[in-house]
């Protein structure tokens, strides 16, 4: 069974950060390298960073599969768009329809928030994620190159799915 729990307590953000550290190292080191992963985990995926994002209006949800924390997601309403900031599932739980359930959950939130679309950024070399998003109805609508400091950039595609 797949459940989503909104994170509001610092302990929950600590649990998310521990999971993020594992997921990011296994998935992103081959794509962006160890130095950039270390930098991004510390500055964007740590308990402190995610809690500040929560205070700034991002909604974090912990994803549970059979009562085990297996992933997390973060969303924020921006005008009539729901921005999907983060969606990650542990490697050993991929292929169990958790990502699909999470996207259905996100679409429900978008409808509740009266959004007309969902947007996200995905690393242009993250081919498996791009394929998954396309299979779920997202389209590439642009490119985003973002300077994130310390000499690093995020080289992403901007993707969008219209909500009918």
- Model pLDDT, residue 37: 95
Give the pLDDT confidence score for residue 95 in this predicted structure.
86
pLDDT at 164 (0 to 100): 73
> Domain 2-119 falls in which CATH fold?
Aminopeptidase (3.40.630)
Domain residue spans of the chain: 2-119
94 pLDDT tier (thresholds 50, 70, 90): confident
> pTM of the prediction?
0.94
SS3 category, 24 = helix
Segment 106-118, tens digit of pLDDT: 999 999 999 999 9
**What whole-number distance in Å separates Cα of residue 15 and Cα of residue 47?**
8
Tell me the three-class secondary structure of 55-102, residue by residue: HCCCEEEEEEECCEEEEEEEEEEECCEEEEEEEEECHHHCCCCHHHHH
């Amino acid at each position: 069974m797949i459940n989503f729990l909104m994170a509001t307590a610092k302990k929950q953000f600590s649990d998310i950060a521990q999971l993020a550290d594992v997921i990011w190292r296994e998935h992103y080191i081959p794509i962006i390298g160890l130095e950039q992963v270390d930098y991004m985990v510390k500055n964007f995926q740590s308990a402190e960073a995610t809690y500040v994002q929560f205070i700034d209006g991002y909604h974090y949800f912990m994803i549970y599969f059979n009562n085990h924390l297996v992933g997390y997601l973060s969303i924020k309403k921006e005008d009539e768009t729901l921005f999907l900031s983060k969606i990650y599932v542990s490697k050993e739980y991929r292929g169990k329809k958790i990502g699909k359930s999470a996207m259905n959950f996100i679409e429900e939130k978008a409808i509740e928030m009266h959004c007309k679309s969902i947007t996200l950024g995905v690393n242009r070399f993250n081919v498996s994620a791009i394929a998954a998003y396309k299979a779920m109805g997202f389209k590439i609508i642009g490119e985003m190159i973002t300077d994130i400091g310390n000499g690093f950039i995020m080289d992403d595609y901007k993707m969008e799915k219209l909500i009918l």
